[in-house]
Structure 1
Amino acid sequence: MTSVPFLLLIEDDDAIRTALELSLSRQGHRVATAATGEDGLNLLREQRPDLVVLDVMLPGIDGFEVCRRIRRTDQLPIILLTARSDDIDVVVGLESGADDYVVKPVQGRVLDARIRAVLRRGERESTDSATFGNVVIDRSAMTVTKNGEDLQLTPTELRLLLELSRRPGQALSRQQLLRLVWEHDYLGDSRLVDACVQRLRAKVEDVPSSPTLIRTVRGVGYRLDSPQ
Protein backbone atom coordinates (compact mmCIF):
# COMPACT_ATOMS: atom_id res chain seq x y z
CA MET A 1 0.00 0.00 0.00
CA THR A 2 1.20 3.51 -0.83
CA SER A 3 1.79 6.09 1.92
CA VAL A 4 -1.29 7.98 0.70
CA PRO A 5 -4.12 5.44 0.33
CA PHE A 6 -5.54 5.33 -3.19
CA LEU A 7 -9.26 4.56 -3.27
CA LEU A 8 -11.69 3.74 -6.05
CA LEU A 9 -15.20 4.99 -5.23
CA ILE A 10 -18.00 3.51 -7.37
CA GLU A 11 -21.27 5.36 -6.65
CA ASP A 12 -23.97 6.40 -9.14
CA ASP A 13 -25.54 9.19 -7.07
CA ASP A 14 -23.74 12.39 -8.10
CA ALA A 15 -24.31 14.21 -4.80
CA ILE A 16 -23.17 11.28 -2.64
CA ARG A 17 -20.18 10.58 -4.87
CA THR A 18 -19.03 14.20 -4.82
CA ALA A 19 -19.53 14.55 -1.04
CA LEU A 20 -17.64 11.33 -0.26
CA GLU A 21 -14.83 12.17 -2.67
CA LEU A 22 -14.39 15.55 -0.97
CA SER A 23 -14.58 14.10 2.54
CA LEU A 24 -12.15 11.25 1.85
CA SER A 25 -9.72 13.62 0.13
CA ARG A 26 -9.76 15.85 3.20
CA GLN A 27 -9.03 12.76 5.32
CA GLY A 28 -5.82 12.23 3.34
CA HIS A 29 -6.88 9.75 0.67
CA ARG A 30 -6.36 9.92 -3.07
CA VAL A 31 -9.68 9.12 -4.72
CA ALA A 32 -10.71 8.01 -8.21
CA THR A 33 -14.44 7.83 -8.91
CA ALA A 34 -16.83 6.03 -11.24
CA ALA A 35 -20.60 6.30 -11.64
CA THR A 36 -21.26 2.81 -13.02
CA GLY A 37 -20.00 -0.70 -12.44
CA GLU A 38 -18.63 -0.88 -15.98
CA ASP A 39 -16.64 2.34 -15.56
CA GLY A 40 -15.40 1.17 -12.18
CA LEU A 41 -14.11 -2.13 -13.57
CA ASN A 42 -12.39 -0.28 -16.42
CA LEU A 43 -10.70 2.07 -13.95
CA LEU A 44 -9.64 -0.90 -11.86
CA ARG A 45 -7.87 -2.39 -14.87
CA GLU A 46 -6.15 0.89 -15.69
CA GLN A 47 -5.08 1.83 -12.16
CA ARG A 48 -4.18 0.01 -8.96
CA PRO A 49 -6.24 1.25 -5.99
CA ASP A 50 -5.55 0.08 -2.45
CA LEU A 51 -9.27 -0.35 -1.76
CA VAL A 52 -12.66 -0.16 -3.50
CA VAL A 53 -15.71 1.56 -1.98
CA LEU A 54 -18.65 0.07 -3.84
CA ASP A 55 -22.33 1.03 -3.86
CA VAL A 56 -24.73 -1.91 -4.03
CA MET A 57 -27.40 -0.29 -6.23
CA LEU A 58 -25.73 0.64 -9.51
CA PRO A 59 -27.19 1.00 -13.02
CA GLY A 60 -26.26 -1.82 -15.38
CA ILE A 61 -23.88 -4.11 -13.53
CA ASP A 62 -24.88 -3.93 -9.86
CA GLY A 63 -22.47 -3.84 -6.95
CA PHE A 64 -22.77 -7.56 -6.23
CA GLU A 65 -21.66 -8.49 -9.74
CA VAL A 66 -18.85 -5.92 -9.64
CA CYS A 67 -17.67 -7.49 -6.39
CA ARG A 68 -17.78 -10.99 -7.87
CA ARG A 69 -15.84 -9.92 -10.96
CA ILE A 70 -13.16 -8.25 -8.87
CA ARG A 71 -12.82 -11.36 -6.71
CA ARG A 72 -12.21 -13.59 -9.75
CA THR A 73 -8.80 -11.99 -10.26
CA ASP A 74 -8.00 -9.74 -7.29
CA GLN A 75 -8.01 -9.85 -3.49
CA LEU A 76 -7.92 -6.10 -2.80
CA PRO A 77 -10.25 -4.87 -0.02
CA ILE A 78 -13.86 -3.98 -0.85
CA ILE A 79 -16.26 -1.98 1.35
CA LEU A 80 -19.93 -1.97 0.37
CA LEU A 81 -22.28 0.98 0.67
CA THR A 82 -25.77 -0.35 1.37
CA ALA A 83 -29.16 1.20 2.14
CA ARG A 84 -30.11 -0.93 5.17
CA SER A 85 -28.08 -2.96 7.66
CA ASP A 86 -30.85 -5.56 8.00
CA ASP A 87 -31.33 -5.97 4.27
CA ILE A 88 -30.44 -9.11 2.37
CA ASP A 89 -28.07 -6.86 0.41
CA VAL A 90 -25.57 -7.19 3.24
CA VAL A 91 -25.61 -10.98 3.23
CA VAL A 92 -25.38 -11.24 -0.56
CA GLY A 93 -22.60 -8.66 -0.63
CA LEU A 94 -20.53 -10.42 2.00
CA GLU A 95 -21.00 -13.75 0.23
CA SER A 96 -19.84 -12.05 -2.97
CA GLY A 97 -16.53 -11.25 -1.29
CA ALA A 98 -16.89 -7.84 0.37
CA ASP A 99 -14.73 -7.19 3.44
CA ASP A 100 -17.03 -4.78 5.26
CA TYR A 101 -20.08 -2.59 4.74
CA VAL A 102 -21.31 0.87 5.72
CA VAL A 103 -24.99 1.80 5.88
CA LYS A 104 -26.26 4.91 4.11
CA PRO A 105 -26.48 7.79 4.80
CA VAL A 106 -22.71 7.59 4.96
CA GLN A 107 -20.68 9.83 7.26
CA GLY A 108 -17.26 10.56 5.81
CA ARG A 109 -15.43 10.05 9.10
CA VAL A 110 -17.12 6.69 9.70
CA LEU A 111 -16.19 5.51 6.22
CA ASP A 112 -12.63 6.78 6.70
CA ALA A 113 -12.31 4.80 9.95
CA ARG A 114 -13.55 1.63 8.25
CA ILE A 115 -11.17 2.15 5.33
CA ARG A 116 -8.16 2.58 7.59
CA ALA A 117 -9.16 -0.46 9.66
CA VAL A 118 -9.39 -2.62 6.53
CA LEU A 119 -6.06 -1.37 5.19
CA ARG A 120 -4.33 -2.16 8.49
CA ARG A 121 -5.24 -5.82 8.06
CA GLY A 122 -2.55 -6.24 5.44
CA GLU A 123 0.27 -4.77 7.53
CA ARG A 124 3.19 -6.98 8.51
CA GLU A 125 3.51 -8.15 12.07
CA SER A 126 5.64 -10.66 14.02
CA THR A 127 8.29 -12.84 12.41
CA ASP A 128 7.14 -16.30 13.50
CA SER A 129 5.20 -18.88 11.55
CA ALA A 130 2.75 -21.62 12.42
CA THR A 131 1.65 -24.86 10.78
CA PHE A 132 -1.89 -26.19 10.93
CA GLY A 133 -2.03 -29.50 9.10
CA ASN A 134 -1.04 -28.77 5.49
CA VAL A 135 -1.46 -25.00 5.96
CA VAL A 136 1.55 -22.83 6.86
CA ILE A 137 1.10 -19.23 8.04
CA ASP A 138 4.19 -17.02 7.64
CA ARG A 139 3.53 -13.89 9.70
CA SER A 140 6.72 -12.16 8.54
CA ALA A 141 5.96 -12.49 4.84
CA MET A 142 2.19 -12.23 5.47
CA THR A 143 1.62 -15.29 3.31
CA VAL A 144 -0.29 -18.53 3.68
CA THR A 145 0.52 -21.73 1.82
CA LYS A 146 -1.35 -25.00 1.49
CA ASN A 147 0.60 -28.05 0.39
CA GLY A 148 3.38 -25.64 -0.56
CA GLU A 149 1.16 -23.55 -2.84
CA ASP A 150 0.46 -19.88 -2.10
CA LEU A 151 -3.14 -19.09 -1.17
CA GLN A 152 -4.67 -15.86 -2.44
CA LEU A 153 -6.40 -14.35 0.59
CA THR A 154 -8.00 -10.96 0.99
CA PRO A 155 -6.55 -8.77 3.77
CA THR A 156 -9.60 -9.53 5.91
CA GLU A 157 -9.35 -13.28 5.37
CA LEU A 158 -5.66 -13.12 6.22
CA ARG A 159 -6.25 -11.07 9.38
CA LEU A 160 -8.97 -13.44 10.54
CA LEU A 161 -6.68 -16.44 10.06
CA LEU A 162 -3.86 -14.65 11.89
CA GLU A 163 -6.06 -13.82 14.87
CA LEU A 164 -7.29 -17.41 15.13
CA SER A 165 -3.74 -18.75 14.76
CA ARG A 166 -2.51 -16.65 17.70
CA ARG A 167 -4.84 -18.62 19.96
CA PRO A 168 -4.75 -22.20 18.63
CA GLY A 169 -7.42 -24.41 20.12
CA GLN A 170 -9.13 -21.44 21.82
CA ALA A 171 -12.70 -20.56 20.91
CA LEU A 172 -13.18 -16.91 19.97
CA SER A 173 -16.64 -15.40 19.94
CA ARG A 174 -17.92 -13.52 16.93
CA GLN A 175 -17.85 -10.30 18.94
CA GLN A 176 -14.19 -10.89 19.86
CA LEU A 177 -13.34 -11.46 16.21
CA LEU A 178 -15.24 -8.33 15.19
CA ARG A 179 -13.12 -6.28 17.58
CA LEU A 180 -9.85 -7.96 16.58
CA VAL A 181 -10.33 -8.07 12.81
CA TRP A 182 -12.91 -5.44 11.87
CA GLU A 183 -12.23 -3.15 14.85
CA HIS A 184 -15.91 -2.71 15.62
CA ASP A 185 -18.61 -4.83 17.26
CA TYR A 186 -21.93 -3.33 16.27
CA LEU A 187 -24.96 -5.52 16.90
CA GLY A 188 -25.74 -7.67 13.89
CA ASP A 189 -22.29 -7.48 12.32
CA SER A 190 -21.65 -11.12 13.20
CA ARG A 191 -22.59 -11.72 9.57
CA LEU A 192 -19.20 -10.27 8.66
CA VAL A 193 -17.49 -13.03 10.63
CA ASP A 194 -19.63 -15.88 9.31
CA ALA A 195 -19.25 -14.82 5.68
CA CYS A 196 -15.49 -14.39 6.01
CA VAL A 197 -15.12 -17.79 7.70
CA GLN A 198 -17.08 -19.37 4.87
CA ARG A 199 -14.78 -17.83 2.24
CA LEU A 200 -11.67 -18.71 4.23
CA ARG A 201 -12.73 -22.33 4.64
CA ALA A 202 -13.19 -22.58 0.88
CA LYS A 203 -9.49 -21.79 0.53
CA VAL A 204 -7.78 -23.55 3.45
CA GLU A 205 -9.91 -26.63 4.07
CA ASP A 206 -9.58 -29.85 2.07
CA VAL A 207 -13.35 -30.32 2.33
CA PRO A 208 -14.92 -26.92 3.18
CA SER A 209 -18.27 -28.50 4.06
CA SER A 210 -16.52 -30.68 6.68
CA PRO A 211 -13.89 -28.35 8.15
CA THR A 212 -11.03 -29.79 10.20
CA LEU A 213 -9.01 -26.59 10.74
CA ILE A 214 -11.48 -23.76 11.37
CA ARG A 215 -14.02 -25.31 13.70
CA THR A 216 -17.42 -23.95 14.66
CA VAL A 217 -17.94 -23.81 18.42
CA ARG A 218 -21.70 -23.83 18.87
CA GLY A 219 -23.05 -20.93 20.84
CA VAL A 220 -19.64 -19.24 20.88
CA GLY A 221 -17.85 -18.73 17.58
CA TYR A 222 -14.81 -20.34 15.99
CA ARG A 223 -11.45 -21.87 16.83
CA LEU A 224 -8.41 -22.95 14.84
CA ASP A 225 -7.18 -26.42 15.66
CA SER A 226 -3.80 -26.56 17.39
CA PRO A 227 -0.61 -26.73 15.25
CA GLN A 228 0.64 -30.19 14.43
Structure 2
Amino acid sequence: MPKNAAANAACIMIVEDEPKLAALLADYLHASGYRTVIIGNGQEVIAAIRKSAPALVLLDVMLPGRDGIEICRELRSFSHVPVIMVTARVEEIDRLLGLEIGADDYVCKPFSPREVVARVQAMLRRAGYASDKPTPSSGLVMDEATHEVTLNGQNLDLTPVEFRLLKTLCDNEGRVFSRDQLMSKVYSDYRVVTDRTVDTHIKNLRRKLDHVSPEHELIHSIYGLGYRFERQVQKI
Protein backbone atom coordinates (compact mmCIF):
# COMPACT_ATOMS: atom_id res chain seq x y z
CA MET A 1 0.00 0.00 0.00
CA PRO A 2 1.47 3.46 -0.90
CA LYS A 3 2.41 5.63 2.09
CA ASN A 4 -0.22 8.28 1.38
CA ALA A 5 -2.91 5.60 0.98
CA ALA A 6 -1.85 3.96 4.24
CA ALA A 7 -2.06 7.27 6.06
CA ASN A 8 -5.63 7.76 4.88
CA ALA A 9 -6.76 4.16 5.52
CA ALA A 10 -9.25 3.42 8.28
CA CYS A 11 -7.57 2.38 11.52
CA ILE A 12 -8.81 -0.82 13.19
CA MET A 13 -7.88 -1.33 16.83
CA ILE A 14 -7.27 -4.99 17.69
CA VAL A 15 -7.66 -5.61 21.42
CA GLU A 16 -6.34 -9.15 21.86
CA ASP A 17 -3.91 -10.63 24.40
CA GLU A 18 -2.88 -13.57 22.19
CA PRO A 19 0.03 -12.10 20.13
CA LYS A 20 -0.14 -14.65 17.31
CA LEU A 21 -3.88 -14.18 16.84
CA ALA A 22 -3.56 -10.39 16.97
CA ALA A 23 -0.77 -10.49 14.38
CA LEU A 24 -2.81 -12.79 12.13
CA LEU A 25 -5.80 -10.46 12.23
CA ALA A 26 -3.54 -7.49 11.55
CA ASP A 27 -2.05 -9.21 8.50
CA TYR A 28 -5.48 -9.90 7.02
CA LEU A 29 -6.68 -6.36 7.74
CA HIS A 30 -3.53 -4.85 6.19
CA ALA A 31 -4.10 -6.98 3.09
CA SER A 32 -7.61 -5.48 2.87
CA GLY A 33 -6.30 -1.93 3.04
CA TYR A 34 -6.68 -1.06 6.73
CA ARG A 35 -4.22 0.25 9.29
CA THR A 36 -4.14 -1.46 12.70
CA VAL A 37 -3.25 -0.78 16.29
CA ILE A 38 -2.79 -3.76 18.63
CA ILE A 39 -3.48 -3.54 22.37
CA GLY A 40 -2.89 -6.57 24.60
CA ASN A 41 -3.88 -5.31 28.05
CA GLY A 42 -7.36 -4.21 29.05
CA GLN A 43 -6.07 -1.41 31.25
CA GLU A 44 -4.58 0.37 28.23
CA VAL A 45 -7.57 0.29 25.89
CA ILE A 46 -9.58 3.40 26.83
CA ALA A 47 -6.54 5.69 26.78
CA ALA A 48 -5.46 4.21 23.44
CA ILE A 49 -8.91 4.77 21.91
CA ARG A 50 -8.98 8.38 23.08
CA LYS A 51 -5.52 8.92 21.58
CA SER A 52 -5.84 7.15 18.22
CA ALA A 53 -9.62 7.49 17.50
CA PRO A 54 -9.92 4.21 15.54
CA ALA A 55 -12.64 3.65 12.95
CA LEU A 56 -13.58 0.32 14.58
CA VAL A 57 -12.55 -1.75 17.61
CA LEU A 58 -12.16 -5.54 17.63
CA LEU A 59 -12.53 -6.17 21.36
CA ASP A 60 -11.75 -9.49 23.01
CA VAL A 61 -13.94 -10.28 26.02
CA MET A 62 -11.29 -12.05 28.10
CA LEU A 63 -8.35 -9.70 28.67
CA PRO A 64 -5.71 -9.23 31.37
CA GLY A 65 -6.20 -6.18 33.54
CA ARG A 66 -9.79 -5.42 32.52
CA ASP A 67 -12.40 -7.41 30.61
CA GLY A 68 -13.91 -6.38 27.32
CA ILE A 69 -17.46 -5.96 28.63
CA GLU A 70 -16.34 -3.39 31.20
CA ILE A 71 -14.25 -1.63 28.56
CA CYS A 72 -17.16 -1.48 26.11
CA ARG A 73 -19.48 -0.10 28.78
CA GLU A 74 -17.07 2.77 29.54
CA LEU A 75 -16.37 3.33 25.85
CA ARG A 76 -20.05 3.91 25.16
CA SER A 77 -20.07 6.74 27.70
CA PHE A 78 -18.04 8.91 25.32
CA SER A 79 -17.82 7.28 21.86
CA HIS A 80 -19.98 5.78 19.10
CA VAL A 81 -17.08 3.93 17.48
CA PRO A 82 -18.30 0.55 16.16
CA VAL A 83 -17.30 -2.36 18.40
CA ILE A 84 -17.11 -6.03 17.39
CA MET A 85 -16.76 -8.27 20.45
CA VAL A 86 -14.52 -11.33 20.08
CA THR A 87 -15.31 -14.14 22.50
CA ALA A 88 -14.75 -17.81 23.20
CA ARG A 89 -17.99 -17.88 25.19
CA VAL A 90 -20.89 -19.29 23.24
CA GLU A 91 -23.69 -18.99 25.80
CA GLU A 92 -26.61 -16.81 24.74
CA ILE A 93 -26.39 -14.65 27.85
CA ASP A 94 -22.84 -13.57 27.02
CA ARG A 95 -23.76 -12.67 23.46
CA LEU A 96 -26.79 -10.75 24.67
CA LEU A 97 -24.81 -8.95 27.34
CA GLY A 98 -22.29 -7.88 24.73
CA LEU A 99 -25.07 -6.24 22.75
CA GLU A 100 -26.77 -4.72 25.79
CA ILE A 101 -23.68 -2.78 26.80
CA GLY A 102 -23.33 -1.20 23.37
CA ALA A 103 -21.43 -3.64 21.16
CA ASP A 104 -22.53 -3.70 17.53
CA ASP A 105 -21.57 -7.26 16.62
CA TYR A 106 -19.69 -10.30 17.88
CA VAL A 107 -17.63 -13.17 16.52
CA CYS A 108 -16.93 -16.40 18.36
CA LYS A 109 -13.58 -18.16 18.62
CA PRO A 110 -12.42 -20.11 16.75
CA PHE A 111 -13.12 -17.99 13.70
CA SER A 112 -11.84 -17.45 10.19
CA PRO A 113 -9.80 -14.24 9.82
CA ARG A 114 -11.58 -13.73 6.50
CA GLU A 115 -14.90 -13.74 8.32
CA VAL A 116 -13.63 -11.09 10.73
CA VAL A 117 -12.46 -8.90 7.83
CA ALA A 118 -15.87 -9.31 6.16
CA ARG A 119 -17.60 -8.28 9.40
CA VAL A 120 -15.31 -5.25 9.69
CA GLN A 121 -16.01 -4.20 6.10
CA ALA A 122 -19.78 -4.60 6.54
CA MET A 123 -19.75 -2.65 9.80
CA LEU A 124 -17.74 0.23 8.34
CA ARG A 125 -20.06 0.41 5.33
CA ARG A 126 -23.06 0.70 7.64
CA ALA A 127 -21.37 3.19 9.93
CA GLY A 128 -20.04 5.32 7.07
CA TYR A 129 -23.15 6.15 5.03
CA ALA A 130 -24.01 9.84 4.99
CA SER A 131 -26.73 12.22 3.97
CA ASP A 132 -26.80 15.99 3.67
CA LYS A 133 -30.19 16.24 5.34
CA PRO A 134 -31.24 15.27 8.85
CA THR A 135 -34.42 13.27 9.33
CA PRO A 136 -37.30 15.55 10.37
CA SER A 137 -39.57 14.10 13.01
CA SER A 138 -41.38 16.38 15.47
CA GLY A 139 -38.46 17.22 17.77
CA LEU A 140 -36.41 14.18 16.73
CA VAL A 141 -33.40 15.02 14.53
CA MET A 142 -31.07 12.35 13.13
CA ASP A 143 -27.84 13.38 11.42
CA GLU A 144 -26.50 10.50 9.32
CA ALA A 145 -23.16 12.23 8.71
CA THR A 146 -22.29 12.31 12.43
CA HIS A 147 -24.66 9.65 13.78
CA GLU A 148 -25.90 12.23 16.27
CA VAL A 149 -29.53 12.08 17.40
CA THR A 150 -31.34 14.76 19.37
CA LEU A 151 -34.83 14.74 20.83
CA ASN A 152 -36.23 18.09 21.92
CA GLY A 153 -32.71 19.47 21.72
CA GLN A 154 -31.13 16.78 23.92
CA ASN A 155 -28.55 14.30 22.63
CA LEU A 156 -29.72 10.68 22.89
CA ASP A 157 -26.22 9.14 22.71
CA LEU A 158 -27.27 6.09 20.66
CA THR A 159 -25.07 3.20 19.65
CA PRO A 160 -24.66 2.64 15.88
CA VAL A 161 -27.11 -0.30 16.03
CA GLU A 162 -29.68 1.79 17.91
CA PHE A 163 -29.23 4.61 15.39
CA ARG A 164 -29.97 2.34 12.43
CA LEU A 165 -32.90 0.75 14.23
CA LEU A 166 -34.48 4.11 15.09
CA LYS A 167 -33.90 5.48 11.60
CA THR A 168 -35.61 2.46 10.02
CA LEU A 169 -38.66 2.96 12.22
CA CYS A 170 -38.67 6.74 11.93
CA ASP A 171 -38.36 6.74 8.14
CA ASN A 172 -41.41 4.46 7.93
CA GLU A 173 -43.67 6.03 10.54
CA GLY A 174 -46.83 4.00 11.15
CA ARG A 175 -45.50 0.87 9.48
CA VAL A 176 -45.27 -2.26 11.63
CA PHE A 177 -41.95 -4.09 11.38
CA SER A 178 -41.48 -7.65 12.53
CA ARG A 179 -38.35 -8.49 14.48
CA ASP A 180 -36.91 -10.30 11.44
CA GLN A 181 -37.54 -7.26 9.22
CA LEU A 182 -35.85 -4.93 11.67
CA MET A 183 -32.79 -7.11 11.98
CA SER A 184 -32.50 -7.47 8.20
CA LYS A 185 -32.33 -3.66 8.06
CA VAL A 186 -29.80 -3.39 10.89
CA TYR A 187 -27.66 -6.41 9.94
CA SER A 188 -27.32 -6.55 6.17
CA ASP A 189 -25.42 -9.85 6.19
CA TYR A 190 -28.56 -11.76 7.29
CA ARG A 191 -27.02 -13.52 10.28
CA VAL A 192 -29.28 -15.36 12.70
CA VAL A 193 -30.31 -13.00 15.51
CA THR A 194 -32.74 -14.01 18.23
CA ASP A 195 -35.98 -12.21 19.11
CA ARG A 196 -34.49 -11.62 22.52
CA THR A 197 -31.66 -9.60 21.00
CA VAL A 198 -34.11 -7.46 19.00
CA ASP A 199 -36.16 -6.81 22.12
CA THR A 200 -33.04 -5.80 24.02
CA HIS A 201 -32.14 -3.17 21.42
CA ILE A 202 -35.72 -1.84 21.47
CA LYS A 203 -35.72 -1.74 25.28
CA ASN A 204 -32.47 0.24 25.37
CA LEU A 205 -33.73 2.62 22.67
CA ARG A 206 -37.01 3.21 24.48
CA ARG A 207 -35.19 3.92 27.74
CA LYS A 208 -33.16 6.67 26.09
CA LEU A 209 -36.20 8.19 24.38
CA ASP A 210 -38.25 8.06 27.58
CA HIS A 211 -35.49 9.76 29.55
CA VAL A 212 -35.84 12.84 27.34
CA SER A 213 -39.57 12.69 26.56
CA PRO A 214 -41.38 10.54 29.17
CA GLU A 215 -44.79 11.90 28.22
CA HIS A 216 -44.71 10.46 24.70
CA GLU A 217 -44.44 6.85 23.58
CA LEU A 218 -42.61 6.86 20.26
CA ILE A 219 -41.96 3.15 19.72
CA HIS A 220 -45.05 0.95 20.06
CA SER A 221 -45.22 -2.81 20.55
CA ILE A 222 -47.81 -4.48 18.33
CA TYR A 223 -48.70 -7.78 19.96
CA GLY A 224 -47.79 -10.76 17.81
CA LEU A 225 -46.43 -8.57 15.00
CA GLY A 226 -43.52 -6.36 16.06
CA TYR A 227 -42.92 -2.62 16.45
CA ARG A 228 -43.89 0.69 14.86
CA PHE A 229 -42.86 4.32 15.28
CA GLU A 230 -45.50 7.01 15.89
CA ARG A 231 -44.71 10.57 16.94
CA GLN A 232 -47.91 12.08 18.24
CA VAL A 233 -49.28 9.56 20.74
CA GLN A 234 -49.17 10.79 24.33
CA LYS A 235 -48.94 8.35 27.23
CA ILE A 236 -52.04 8.07 29.42
Q: Same fold (TM over 0.5)?
A: yes
Counterpart amino acid of residue 196 in structure 1: H
> Deviation digits for residues 94-146 of structure 1, max 9, x if unmatched?
111111111221222222222222223332136363214x4233557754221
**Within-5 A mapping of 1:1-228:** 4-122=9-127, 123-125=129-131, 127=133, 129-132=135-138, 134-138=139-143, 142-206=147-211, 212-226=217-231
1:108–1:208 Cα change, 3 Å = farther
Measure, in 1, the Cα distance between the counterparts of 2:213 and 2:21.
40
Q: Which runs of 5+ in 1 are unaligned?
A: none
User: What CA deviation, in whole Å up to 9, does each residue of 1:129-187 have, x standing for no partner?
Assistant: 3214x423355775422112233222222111111112111121222222211213333
Please provide the CA RMSD for this pair. 2.7
Identity within the alignment, %: 37
Find the aligned partners of 1:100 and 1:194 in 2 and give their Cα distance: 16
Residues of 1 paired with 2:117 and 2:196: CA distance?
A: 21
Task: Give the Cα separation in 1 of the matches to 2:213 and 2:69.
Answer: 23
Q: 1:59 to 1:164 in 2, by over 3 A?
A: same
Structure 1 letter corresponding to 2:131: E
Q: Secondary structure at the match of 1:219?
A: coil
Cα distance in 1 for partners of 2:225, 2:212 equals: 22
Q: CA deviation at 1:208?
A: 9.0
Which structure exhibits the higher relative contact order, with contacts defined as CA atoms closer than 8 Å and separated by 6 or more residues? 1
Provide the rounded CA distance (Å) in 2 between the counterparts of 1:102 and 1:208: 35
Structure 1 match to 2:4: none
Q: Give the aligned residue type for 1:186.
A: R
**Secondary structure of the structure 1 residue equivalent to 2:47:** helix
> What's the CA shift for 1:191?
4.5
TM norm structure 1: 0.86
Unaligned runs of 5+ in 2: 1-6
Structure exhibiting the larger radius of gyration computed from Cα positions: 2
What CA distance in whole angstroms lies between the structure 1 residues aligned with 2:125 and 2:232? Answer: 26
The one-character-per-residue Cα deviations of 1:33-64 (angstroms, maximum 9, x if unpaired) are 11121122221122110111101111221111
Q: TM-score, normalised by structure 2?
A: 0.83
Q: Provide the C-alpha distance between the structure 2 equivalents of 1:139 and 1:6, rounded to a whole number of angstroms.
A: 21
Q: Counterpart of 1:90 in 2: which secondary structure?
A: helix
Please identify, of 70-79 and 187-196, the stretch whose mean Cα deviation from structure 2 is larger: 187-196
CA positional deviation for 1:227: 6.4
Q: Partners in 2 of 1:221 and 1:199 — Cα distance?
A: 16
Aligned length: 226
Secondary structure, counterpart of 1:129 in structure 2: coil
Closer, same or farther: CA 210–184 of 1 in aligned 2, 3 Å? farther
